[in-house]
Amino acid sequence: MAAISSVLSAPAPKHDKLKALGILALNGMFDEMDAEAVLRQAVDELLPGDIAMVSSFGADSAVLLHLVSLVDKNLPVYFLETGKHFVETLDYVETLKQRLGLTNVIALYPDSADLARFDPDGTLWETDPDSCCHIRKTEPLEDVLSGYGGWVTGRKRFQTAERGVLPHFELTSDDRIKVNPLAYFTNEDVEAYKARHDLPEHPLYGEGYKSIGCAPCTSAVAEGEDPRAGRWRGRDKRECGIHFDFNGSIAKPVSQSSLHLFKDGAFKADPWKAWAEGDEPADVRYTHVPVSVFVEHRAAFLASPHPIGLQVNPGEKVEDIEGDLARFSSVAINFRAFTDGRGYSSARLLRERFGYEGELRAVGDVLTDQIPFMRRCGIDAFVVTNKATREALEKDALAEVPLYYQPIGERHEVPAGTRPFLRRPE
């Protein structure tokens, strides 16, 4: 496949000096909502003639394309013609081109040899959606992208859990720049922008499709549901791959140089953040809200459509939120100090007594020696900053005695019979 060689032979990075200047500084230059200024800075000042964008021409693509039309109608706009789009999407490409006067929309097609080899009957999306995306999106883009110093994306913080920390400007690991003018736009902001500029709606939007990709992998979402919930529904997949950088990991701002969330056997990007002073109960999303704060603003949190999590600090009682547990898609148990064992009891109560089934993570002073205990108490994700612990997790070499004397709940345990206490006659 052509893409491999393009990685190996990638030209020397052209933007070292920008890296030196500091993407961070760039990110502080613009008002969060001033998308047009961000885009103008990128197109006119930062990378004139050396930047392009990719658009899915989906449900909310119109906003960014409208901004492009204000800044530079001739900016290269690539559209991934995967061959799997809704007819309505293809119509919509034409509608927007006409309406916005875009003069440089370029369709990209998958490599026909790849299709013949890997997806001869067109059903790869069903068996292996990652590979399907790879052939139809990642590969066709790679050749094109290597010709640009940067590209514009329409990604927004609220869209998926993994995008929670998205800035305006990002440096990818191969020294390209990703520009995200809409990073801080909420769903409501998008709607307001569309209304203000009277932008045409994707034909399927009115039918409940809030985030639109290829036809087989897109379904409608219910009222109040995460807009991207309809993408790859029922599968453990959130991103199509094209927002991952060329080394395969998620492109991230330089300030977030390492990943701290260990879950399902690997360190991964963490969409969640902790509740901070000044946060608004009605607005926060992907935020772990302390029990005390939740109890105080319970009505506002319950009314909010956004995904929220719960943080259980030492001394807080999980009994206080027992009836609202279904509201949380993640619960963080705060182990404020290595020696503070209250969290183990909280974890067991959540799992064993209240039947909480979602992500249960340990945050705070999390060290290798505690993790086996935490797992037995039902914790399944760990936010780790300690270097030795990180290495132990990566090597799967925790300090652990893998034999258990006492029964703990029903989850994550070895079969009952291996423990003397439960070695009952059959």
Where in the sequence numbering do the catalytic residues fall? 240
In the complex, least distance from residue 317 CB atom to another protein, rounded to whole angstroms: 8
Cα–Cα distance, 16 to 378 (Å, whole number) = 46
For residues 106 and 77, the answer to whether their CB atoms sit within 8 Å is yes
Is 214 annotated in a binding site? The answer is yes
Closer Cβ to another protein, 200 or 314, answer by number: 314
Closer Cβ to another protein, 53 or 374, answer by number: 374
Is 377 annotated in a binding site? The answer is no
In the complex, least distance from residue 420 CB atom to another protein, rounded to whole angstroms: 5
In the complex, least distance from residue 308 CB atom to another protein, rounded to whole angstroms: 25
Amino acid at 118: F
Closer Cβ to another protein, 285 or 376, answer by number: 376
Site residues for another protein per CB under 8 A: 314, 338-342, 344-346, 348, 353, 369-370, 372-374, 376-377, 388, 399-410, 418-425
CA–CA–CA angle 66, 71, 72 (5° rounding): 95
Closer Cβ to another protein, 17 or 424, answer by number: 424
In the complex, least distance from residue 326 CB atom to another protein, rounded to whole angstroms: 20
Closer Cβ to another protein, 229 or 367, answer by number: 367
Handedness of CA 159, 161, 167, 169 (dihedral sign): negative
Residues 172/178/181/186 CA torsion (nearest 10 deg): -50
Find all residues with CB under 8 Å of 24, minimum gap 6, and list them: 253, 254, 255
Closer Cβ to another protein, 228 or 376, answer by number: 376
In the complex, least distance from residue 337 CB atom to another protein, rounded to whole angstroms: 8
Residue 297: other Cβ atoms inside 10 A:
16
Beta pairing, strands 273-274 & 266-268:
unpaired
Find all residues with CB under 8 Å of 222, minimum gap 6, and list them: 208
Alpha helices in 210-368 (DSSP H): 291-296, 298-303, 342-348
CA–CA–CA angle 269, 271, 277 (5° rounding): 130
In the complex, least distance from residue 366 CB atom to another protein, rounded to whole angstroms: 12
Q: Give binding residues for [4Fe-4S] cluster as ranges.
A: 132-133, 214, 217
